[in-house]
Structure 1
Amino acid sequence: MSTTQDLVTALKAELKAAGITYAELATQLGMSESSIKRVFAKADMPLSRIDDVLRVLKMDFADLARQVADAQPLRRELSLEQEKAVVADRRLLLLAICCLSHWTFEQMTTTYTFSEPECIAYLVALDKLGIIELRPLNRYRLKVAKGFRWRPHGPVMAYFREHVAADYYSGGFDGDGELLMLVHGQISPSQASNFVERLQRVGQDFAQQHLADQKLKAAQRRPYTLVVGMRSWLFAAFRDLKRDAAPA
């Protein structure tokens, strides 16, 4: 769908929400109702006409563009080139993670050593990469879905395996609210898929709780990182002890 078509679709929705019929719109614009219907049916409206309709709706173009952006499907993962760009600068990667965690601009600049101009520059870069839509007053809208994940074998996960995994797992996982659990077993592939869905819900619940607890004072919150994984796998240290599979 083209941008113009998106704008026209959004205009239709706004007219319906405002209870303005094509006949009423035609009267206010000095056009015939048939002409209005034809313009909306073709979904090929010049910007001057869009501005005319917006005046009737008492909206500005920025509001309409925001409606269109909010209606766009969200990304579930980035392209390989996008991930390469993110991981090429660890400060950009850090702010990408902050955005995915719904941090405010103030949280980013007070927690890490970014000046306001530096932080804005990185947010602009994330906007250009399609991860966020940067809005006035340094606010932003995420353009990735709730179930977003980094590419399993992409540059970002490679960075985490090389620089982060050992650091993460070196902890004792024995503090308040900490847990490390390893469970091994044999189950059917269908049940494995069910467990994956349940684990995804746990991740989403964690993200939702993070948002809900933003209203608490900083002293009432602590940073936690939830790592969820499940794969068909045999410990490398034990593989040479496994008997060959029996012939079918």
Structure 2
Amino acid sequence: MSTTADLVLALKKELKAAHMTYADLARGLGMAESSVKRMLAKGDMPLSRIDAICRTLKLDFAELARRVADAQPLLKELTQEQERAVVADKKLLLTAICVLSMWTLEQITSEYRVSEAECIRCLAQLDRIGIIELKPGNRYRLKLAKTFRWRPHGPVMNYFRDNVVLDYFAGGFDGAAEGLLLVHGSVARGIAPSFVERMQRLAQDFAQQHQADQKLGQDDREGYTLVLAMRSWEFTAFTQLRR
């Protein structure tokens, strides 16, 4: 939700873009210029005054609020509390994964045993958590950055380690556009971070392609899960054999 300070800051930008001076605004509001300057400098005013300034600028208040929302920084990571809320309900977790793939309410309810009322409830909860901004008609705007990731040792990743990893790797990885590579080796410590950077670029490429392909029909897309990992590690059974 936009704060009043955010709205006032956006109004200042709109005034500048419209080449409107404080004197011009004061005349439009029927106020003294000094009062307008003081009001905008303070950065706090009733919504009725913000609405009056919007009318003077010939700007719809809803449009102003949308611009403020779009300007808010996107989340790269959730808090522990937010992640705990996501994994506390399986249908909420399912809905969260679906919105990360930009599924509509209709797609979710047609593919899974989730009623429309349950899906709306989950979307509303994801809005409260901060993952999406729920809009009229049950549309939403994702509030996560392209570089978003679940916390490495947070509730969601722990849930996936406990419940999903074995299920994922049980597959043969021999289908169309599937593959599993396991490479072990010793490299210089200084060069190792460059491989992690390449992995991050590949993950971003995948995420960007996902965004670009949303314009395609559902029949022209297939759901994939890309898992990338690299760590300094030795299989515990091997470690136990060390002298």
Fold match by TM threshold 0.5: yes
Equivalent residue number for residue 160 of structure 2: 160
Query: Are 1:185 and 2:192 an aligned pair?
Result: no
Is the aligned partner of 1:133 residue 2:133? yes
Partner of 1:48: 48
After TM superposition, the structure 1 = structure 2 runs for residues 169-208 of structure 1, keeping only pairs within 5 Å, are 169-208=169-208
Instruction: Tell me if the contact between 1:131 and 1:144 (Cα under 8 Å) persists in the aligned partners.
Output: yes
Q: Distance in 2 between matches of 1:28 and 1:42?
A: 20
Query: 1:63-78 counterparts in 2 under 5 A?
Result: 63-78=63-78
Under a length normalisation based on structure 2, what TM-score does the superposition of the two structures give? 0.91
1:167-208 per-position Cα deviation (integer Å, ceiling 9, x unaligned): 111111111111111122223444322222221121111111
- Secondary structure in 2 matching 1:241: coil
Gaps in structure 1 of 5+ consecutive residues: 244-248
CA contact (8 A) 1:101 1:207 kept: no
- Provide the C-alpha distance between the structure 2 equivalents of 1:209 and 1:50, rounded to a whole number of angstroms: 40
Amino acid at match of 1:112: Y
1:92 is matched with: 92
Q: 2:20 matched to which residue of 1?
A: 20
Looking at structure 2, the residues matched to 94 and 18 of structure 1 have their Cα atoms a distance apart, in angstroms, of 45
For 1:117, give the aligned amino acid: A
Q: Deviations over 1:46-87 (max 9, x none)?
A: 322212101112333333222222222222221212211111
CA root-mean-square deviation? 1.8
Q: Secondary structure at the match of 1:134?
A: strand
Partners in 1 of 2:3 and 2:216 — Cα distance? 40
Equivalent in the alignment of 1:222: 222
Q: Distance in 2 between matches of 1:198 and 1:18?
A: 44
Cα deviation, residue 123, structure 1: 0.2
Identity of aligned residues (%): 66
- Residue in structure 2 matched with residue 246 of structure 1 by the alignment: none
Q: Separation in 1 of the partners of 2:157 and 2:210? A: 22
Number of aligned residue pairs: 242
Find the counterpart in structure 2 of residue 237 from structure 1. 237
Aligned AA for 2:237? A
The unaligned stretches of length 5 or more in structure 2 are: none
TM-score (norm 1): 0.90
Residue 29 (structure 2) aligns with: 29
Separation of aligned partners in 2, 1:189 and 1:70: 41
> Does 1:118 pair with 2:94?
no
1:155 to partner: Cα distance: 1.6
Q: Which 10-residue stretch deviates more, 216-225 or 165-174? A: 216-225
Tell me, in whole angstroms, the C-alpha distance in 2 between the residues paired with 1:109 and 1:201: 33
> What SS does the aligned partner of 1:133 have?
strand
SS in 1 for 2:240: helix
SS class of match (2:191): helix
Shift of 1:20: 2.4
| Paired AA for residue 187 in structure 1 | V
